[in-house]
Amino acid sequence: MQSYLADMQHEFDWNDLKFFLALYRSKRMVMAAHTLGIDQTTIARRVRQLEKSIGAQLFTKTPEGYEITPAGERILPLALEVERATGRAREEIGGEAGQLSGTVRVGAPDGLGIHFVAPVLTRFQEDYPDIQIELLVRSRTFRLSRQEAHLTFSMALPTSGRLLARRMTEYHLGFYASRDYLAQHGTPKTLEDVKDHNYVGYVDELLPTDAMRYQVELGITNPVLFGSNSILAQREAIREGAGIGVLPAYVIHDDPDLVPILAPRHVLKRTMWILSHQSTEDLARVRLVSEYLQNATRASRARFVL
């Protein structure tokens, strides 16, 4: 990396790395600009300035957004380390003043992120207003080694990488259908009966983890007539009468339109984890958010079980 930096053609402005990281993470100029609270022309100008200093193209524009180039991949570890060092320095200065500041990015699946994590982090920010929260709600996994998020909720333990996992809680999933659907099609009494009903579930090839292959575990061979990578979209489809599906307890909220089926005999049990990366574990603000989320989850255990 040092020899690569030595080959740069012009004076290097370390501040440009901030704009590089924003575009790398968001893949869109407008989203990167929104993240930093500036206009997108500034993002474009500062990234071009960085490319000129390095003497290499860092991004290519694709229909899916800006993708990092091999040259960008070589700069990325440096940019991440500068960001971490800046965060540590800010914390040391903030610690001397008696308060923490900075940004903490938290990743979560859509149902959990919207119905549980967002309200908890709102309460956190009331207690710690100088810490900026960024909640990333996606169905896919986050690359913590590249600081796409500082913390992320996971339904499975990691199998590789320098990741730290803390157990949050056990959570349950069960079959649900709408009252109208059951009135028209009848209520299944056994798992064998479910095979005669329309099924709502995940799009198989988009599953982020095998822990979500509920049909395989339950021995259900129904084709998914309404599929989505979003659990909230599945819940709404079930509520509107599209069929029967498996939903986690934390997205139900005692909804009177959703009727539990085959419970408690056929309830799936899973474990929820919160993951962090060793490179950011020493950031006090990240530890603070992690501990707050852990305590809030344990205090709300009744929300996660049937």
**CATH code of the domain covering residue 22:** 1.10.10.10
Q: What's the half-sphere exposure (Cβ side, CA atoms, 13 Å) at 262? A: 21
Dihedral sign of CA atoms 161, 163, 166, 172 in order = negative
> Looking at residue 213, what is its pLDDT?
80
Q: Mapping DSSP to helix (H, G, I), strand (E, B) and coil, where does residue 178 land?
A: strand
Q: What's the half-sphere exposure (Cβ side, CA atoms, 13 Å) at 54? A: 27
247 and 279 assigned to the same domain: no
162 and 277 assigned to the same domain: yes
pLDDT in tens, the chain (306 residues): 444 444 444 456 778 888 888 898 888 898 888 878 888 899 999 999 888 888 889 999 998 889 999 998 888 888 877 877 777 666 666 554 446 778 898 999 889 999 999 999 999 999 999 898 999 887 666 776 677 888 989 887 777 667 888 999 999 999 999 999 999 999 999 999 998 899 999 988 877 677 778 877 888 888 899 999 899 999 999 999 999 999 999 998 778 899 999 988 899 999 999 988 877 776 888 889 999 999 999 899 999 998
178 and 263 assigned to the same domain: yes
53 and 77 assigned to the same domain: yes
145 and 287 assigned to the same domain: yes
CA–CA–CA angle 123, 128, 132 (5° rounding): 90
pTM, rounded to two decimals: 0.70
97 and 157 assigned to the same domain: yes
Among residues 48, 83, 118, the one where a domain terminates is 83
CA dist., res. 21 & res. 149, Å (int): 12
Among residues 49, 83, 117, the one where a domain terminates is 83
147 and 289 assigned to the same domain: yes
263 and 275 assigned to the same domain: no
163 and 176 assigned to the same domain: no
Among residues 83, 109, 142, the one where a domain terminates is 83
The DSSP output letter for 156 is S
158 and 287 assigned to the same domain: yes
Q: How far, in whole angstroms, is CA 115 from its chain's centroid?
A: 13
186 and 144 assigned to the same domain: no
Q: Residue 193: how many CB atoms within 10 A of its CB?
A: 14
**CATH code of the domain covering residue 128:** 3.40.190.10
> Looking at residue 95, what is its pLDDT?
54
Residue span of the structural domain in which 261 resides? 170-269
Count the domains in the chain: 3
